[in-house]
Amino acid sequence: MLNKTIRVRVPGTSANCGPGFDAIGVACTIYNELELTFLEEQGIVIDIEGEGAGNIPRDERNIVVRSIRLILKRARMADKVQGFRIRMKNNIPLSRGLGSSAAAIVAGLKAANTLLDNRFSRRELLQMATDIEGHPDNVAPAIFGGFTVSVVTRGRVECFSLMPRMALKLVVAVPEFPLSTKLARSVLPQEVPLKDAVFNVSRAALLVAALLKGHPRFLRSALSDALHQPYREKLIPGMKDVFRAAHKAGALGASLSGAGPCLMAYALQDEEAVGEAMVKAFAQHGIEAHALQLAIDSHGARILKRH
């Protein structure tokens, strides 16, 4: 266990997926990698390259470190592992709604658990990750891959994952400004009208059914939302116009990715044209952006190398 190294890869994720607020998420083919070594000597060494390299803490505040500390505590190994070395290679943009914090949490838990001879199941890792993150909608797909549907009952997380019966492409417009989850949550009301609750329940059910049955024609309606997107729209200039541009270019539907500001379109084809149209629509509102053409990751967090 000590002085052994493990390398893991964790996908980025998009939460909410339209109407599935804090419940539905999807894993995307953009990845962070983490290399972890448990050391005999005390101290933490953290090397970071890629996204956030100049801003991510390199001490106990680092969310990867917090995740490792938690799993060591749960395994009653906190006294035996004196230190560790962490190397992070980040491709997931920070504070954009693509699950960068969830990927960091899951990477720390997955790597540490492997060095502990996998004493915790993926379901137990999901519970720990949710305890750290506060909700499961990003950490669940990061662990299991595919689309995930999660519920929390008295603090206990339940989740299942599925792959849709259609070859969906995920086109993400990434604006060049961050948006903190705290700010995005602060604009949400504490109570919503009954009609809005019914609107979302019906569309979340329709979304899952359309994915399972492979009926893409339902996605445009199924991705509509009344609980969070109307309130967050003011934080993302041109959001509705970007959605309209995606639809016009051939997307099946579009939604806010997580808390934003990324906007995600779902397509079966023409993903380059969809991405270009979304970027152009952002530019018309003075927002610089770039597009990512992604697919659905079906594996979730996985081990790349042991040595």
The residue whose two tokens read 């492997």 is: 114
Q: What is the pLDDT of residues 74-89, one digit of tens each?
A: 999 888 888 899 999 9
Candidates 256, 294, 13, 280; CA nearest to 171 is: 294
pLDDT at 302 over 80: yes
pTM of the model: 0.94
Residue 289 labelled as part of a binding site: no
Residue 246 labelled as part of a binding site: no
DSSP calls for the chain: -TT-EEEEEEEEEEESTTT-TTTEEEEEEEEEEEEEEEESSSEEEEEEEETTTTTS-SSTTSHHHHHHHHHHHHTT-TTT--EEEEEEEE-SPTTSSS-HHHHHHHHHHHHHHHHTTS-S-HHHHHHHHHHHHSSSTTHHHHHH-SEEEEEEETTEEEEEEE--SS--EEEEEEESS---HHHHHHTS-S---HHHHHHHHHHHHHHHHHHHHT-GGGHHHHT--SSSHHHHGGGSTTHHHHHHHHHHTT-SEEEE-TTSS-EEEEESS-HHHHHHHHHHHHHTTT--EEEEEEEB-SS-SEEEEE-
pLDDT at 26 over 60: yes
| Averaged pLDDT score across all residues of the chain | 94
Residue 99 labelled as part of a binding site: yes
Residue 95 labelled as part of a binding site: yes
Residue 245 labelled as part of a binding site: no
Check if the beta carbon of residue 133 is closer than 8 Å to that of residue 103: no
Residue 96 labelled as part of a binding site: yes
Residue 98 labelled as part of a binding site: yes
CA dist 56 and 132 (Å) reads 17
pLDDT at 205: 97
Residue 295 labelled as part of a binding site: no
Average pLDDT rounded to a whole number, residues 145-166: 96
Q: What is the pLDDT of residues 130-153, one digit of tens each?
A: 999 999 999 999 999 999 999 999
- Sequence length of the chain is 307
The pair of three-digit structure tokens given for residue 106, joined into one six-digit string? 């899951």
CB neighbourhood size of 221 (10 A): 15
Residue 25 labelled as part of a binding site: no
Residue 14 labelled as part of a binding site: no
